[in-house]
Amino acid sequence: MSKGKVTVLGINGNIGRHAAAAFVAAGFTVKGFGRTDRYKLPGVSFVAGDALSLDDIKAAIADADIVVNALNLPYDAWDKGRAEALLATVIAAMGDSGKTLMFPGNIYNYAATDRFITPQTPQRPQTPRGAIRVRQEEMLAAASKAGRFQTIIIRAGDFYAPHNGGDWYALAIMSEVAKNKIYHMANLDVGHAWAYLPDLGRAFAAVAEQRRALGAFETFHFAGHYETQGALMAAIQAVSPRPLKAAALPWIFLQAMGLANGVIREIVKMRYLWNNPMELVDPRLDDLLGPDFATPFADAVAETVRPYLVQKGA
C-alpha cells in the first residue's frame, strides 16, 4: 500500500531525480514533472509540462499529497525577480490545498562568519543570491502560516553524486583528472558542507513520512558530510588507480572565464562559501533520521568520482 502520492517538480534536476528515487524506494507513489522524461526513472510516472505554466503545474500536482519543488533556473537567471516568480507560480498552484510542499534550501541565506548554522541562526545573506533565497523562504513562510499549505524546507550543503551535471566535481574538482590533477577549492584545512544526493533524497522521504506530526512551516538542516578540503583530496586519491596531484583551484582563471560566461561569473561571487567554515547543525533532524543515516564519506566520494576516472582515463 502506498504511503502517499508525491509529485516531484523538476524531475530532471540533480535533486529532483534523487528525491524521486528515494520516495519510490520508501513506498510512495511518485510522479515526475518536466519538459522531457530524460532519465525514465523506475517507478516514476512522468507528466510533461512547462514550469512557467500555472495550469501545467496545477494539473501535475492535482492528486498529490506531497509536492517536492526541485525546480531551479540557470544560475545566471535568478535575478530581476525571475526566481521569485517561478516560486510564486508553484505557490499559486498549491493554492489553499493543505498539501505538503518540500523545498531544498541552501546556505546562501547566512553570513560567512556563521561557523555553526542551525535552523535558529539569523539569516544574514551577504550576496544577491542569498537575498533571493531569503525572499523565497519568506514567501513560503507567509503562505504556510496563513494556513494554505504545509512547507518543509530541508537545507543542505553542496550536492554531489555519480553522474551529476554541473556540480563542483564536474566544474572544478575533477575537471583535469585526465592530466592526473584534481583541484581543492580552498585551503586544505578548511571544512565544507556537502550533501550526498542519495542520502539527501532519503532524508526528504523520511521527513515526509513524519509530516503530519510537524508544523505548518518547518526548516531542517541536513548535516551531510562536513569535511576539510584535505580530506576530500585524500578520499579521491584513495580510490584512483593512478597517482593524482592535488592543486589549488586557479580562481583567477574562473574570473577571466566569467567575463564571457554569466554562469561562471555568478559562481565566482560565491567563493566565500569555500573560504569560510560553515557547518549545518540540526539535532532535531539527526534524531528523526536516526544514527548512521549517511553513507560514509569515503564511500560516497568513491561512487561519485569513479565515472570520472573511467571516462577520463585516470
Q: Chain-centre distance of CA 190, in angstroms?
A: 21
Closest CA to 67 of 27, 35, 19: 19
Over residues 24-83, the pLDDT tens digits come to 999 999 999 999 999 999 999 999 999 999 999 999 999 999 999 999 998 888 999 999
pLDDT classification of 166: cutoffs 50, 70, 90: confident
pLDDT for residue 1 is more than 90: no
pLDDT of residue 311: 67
Over residues 77-91, the pLDDT tens digits come to 899 999 999 999 999
Asked whether the beta carbons of 222 and 155 are under 8 A apart, the reply is yes
Q: What CATH number was assigned to the domain covering residues 5-158+194-224? A: 3.40.50.720
Task: Give the whole-angstrom CA distance, residue 132 versus residue 150.
Answer: 21
Task: Give the whole-angstrom CA distance, residue 311 versus residue 314.
Answer: 8
pTM: 0.97
Percent of the chain having pLDDT more than 70?
A: 99
pLDDT classification of 259: cutoffs 50, 70, 90: confident
Closest CA to 109 of 122, 125, 120: 125
Enumerate residues 6+ apart whose C-beta is below 8 A from 9: 16, 33, 51, 57, 60, 61, 67, 68, 69, 70, 71, 90
